[in-house]
Amino acid sequence: MQERGCFLKREKICKRKIRYLTIAFIQHKDINEGGYNKMAFRIREAATKVGLPTHTIRYYEQEGLLPFVKRDENGNRIFDEKDLEWLELILCSRKTDIPLSELRKVVELTKEGGYTFSLRKQIYEKHKEKIMEKQRELDKVYREIESKIQYYDDLEKKYQEENLLPRV
C-alpha cells in the first residue's frame, strides 16, 4: 500500500498549496494594480518555470483561468510570481482531474470577492469526494493486482521446487 501513501502525501501537499494559492490569488488583484512586479516573465519563461507548454498556458487564459495576466505595450503576456503561483494551483488541481468548468467557477467567485469563500470551499469539497471515490477504486484494483502478483510468485516458487521451469 505504499502507492496509496504516496498519493495521500501528494494530496496533502496539493491541499496546502491550494489553500495558500487561493489566498494569494485573492490578493493578486490588489498587489498588481501598481503595475508590473520586479519579477516579470514572458510566456516562454513562465512555461519553463511551471513545466507547462506555452500553448497550454494560452489555452488556460482563453478559458478564463488567468484573468490577471497583464500585457505589455506590444500585447505580449507578462507573468509575475502570483501568476506563476496561480498556474501551479491550476496544474495541481488538474492532476486531480478537476474539470476546467469547476476551476472557472473558482476564478469567477474569486473575482467577486472574499464573501465567496464558502462557495469556493464547496467546489473543492465536492471535488475531494470524487477524488476519494477514485482512490477507493484504485485501492481495490491495486489489491487485485497485488493478489495476482502473489499468485504468480507462488506458482513460480512451486515450479522452481519441482524443477518444472525451463532452463534459460
Q: How much is the pLDDT for 161?
A: 83
| Residue 70: strand pairing partners | 78
C-alpha–C-alpha distance, residues 70 and 47, integer Å: 15
Q: What single string gives the DSSP state of each residue in the chain?
A: -HHHHHHHHHHHHHHHHHHHHHHHHHHHHHHHTTS--SS-B-HHHHHHHHT--HHHHHHHHHTTS-TT-EE-TTS-EEB-HHHHHHHHHHHHHHHTT--HHHHHHHHHHHHH-GGGHHHHHHHHHHHHHHHHHHHHHHHHHHHHHHHHHHHHHHHHHHHHHTT-SPP-
Q: Which residue has the higher pLDDT, 21 or 150?
A: 150
How does residue 15 score in pLDDT terms, banded at 50, 70 and 90? low
pLDDT in tens, 1-14: 444 444 445 555 56
| Per-residue pLDDT tens over the stretch 52-63 | 999 999 999 999
pTM of the model: 0.64
Instruction: Give the residue-averaged pLDDT of 147-162.
Output: 91
Which residue in this structure is represented by grid cell 532452463? 167
Domains of the chain (ranges; CATH) run: 2-161 (1.10.1660.10)
What are the pLDDT digits (tens) for 106-149?
999 988 988 999 999 999 999 999 999 999 999 999 999 999 99
Separation of first and last alpha carbons in the chain: 33
Residue 140 CA: distances (Å) to CA of 10, 20, 78, 152, 167: 19, 32, 46, 19, 36
Other Cβ atoms closer than 10 A to 166: 5
